[in-house]
Amino acid sequence: MVSGRGKAYNRVYGNRNSETVKVNIPKNSSKNSQPQVQEKVQRFKPAASVRGLVWKMKRWFYATLRKLEDELGEEFDATTSREVWRQLASSIVEYNQEHDLSDNPARGELEWDVIEYEGKLILVIKRVKIWYFEITQEKEFEVSIE
C-alpha cells in the first residue's frame, strides 16, 4: 500500500500469514471450553513513532482494564490480564527494536476479548496489527511573501 507520505508496511501479530507472538498463560485445568463474553476492535490514529503507538495502546489497555474492574468486580482477574499484556507489549517492542522500526510513523489496531479463564474473566488481546510508514521523499520549499 502506498500513501502520499510514503510506503505503508503491514505487520500482523497472531495471524496465520505472519509470525505469531506466543503469550504464556497457565494451562486451564477445567475441560470446559472458554466462552466468549465480549469481542471488540480498537483502532488507533497514526502516531509519530511506533514507540508512541505502543504508548497509546498501553494507555488504552490500562483504561479498559480499570473500566472492566469497576464493571465486573470480583469476577474479573486483572492480575492475569496484566501479565498477558506485559508479555505481548514486550514482544512488540522487541520486534520493533530488532528490525529498527521504532522511529517509523505507524498506526495500529487491537482485537481484544473478555474471556472466562479458570472461573474468572480476563482481558486478552487476540490480535495486534501495525501499519508502518516510511517517508520516501523529502522536499523543502522556500516561501516568499510579496
Q: Render each residue's pLDDT in the chain as its tens digit; 146 residues.
A: 434 444 444 455 544 455 556 666 655 544 444 544 545 899 999 999 999 999 999 999 999 999 999 999 999 999 999 999 999 999 999 999 999 999 999 999 999 999 999 999 999 999 999 999 987 888 899 998 98
How much is the pLDDT for 43? Answer: 95
Structural domain includes residue 114: yes
How much is the pLDDT for 139? Answer: 87
How much is the pLDDT for 34? Answer: 52
How much is the pLDDT for 98? Answer: 95
Structural domain includes residue 146: no
Structural domain includes residue 113: yes
- Domain ranges, residue 121: 6-23+36-134
How much is the pLDDT for 31? Answer: 46
How much is the pLDDT for 14? Answer: 45
Strand-by-strand arrangement of the 120-135 sheet: 6-13, 120-135, 106-117, 36-47
What is the total count of domains within the chain? 1
Structural domain includes residue 119: yes
Contact 85, 91 (CB under 8 A): no
What nine digits make up the cell of 100? 529498527
Long-range contacts of 78-86 (CB under 8 A, 24+ apart): 80/25, 80/117, 80/120, 80/122, 81/122, 81/123, 81/124, 83/25, 84/23, 84/25, 84/122, 84/123, 84/124, 84/125, 85/58, 85/61, 85/123, 85/125
Structural domain includes residue 40: yes
The DSSP secondary-structure symbol of 119 reads T
How much is the pLDDT for 5? Answer: 46
Structural domain includes residue 110: yes
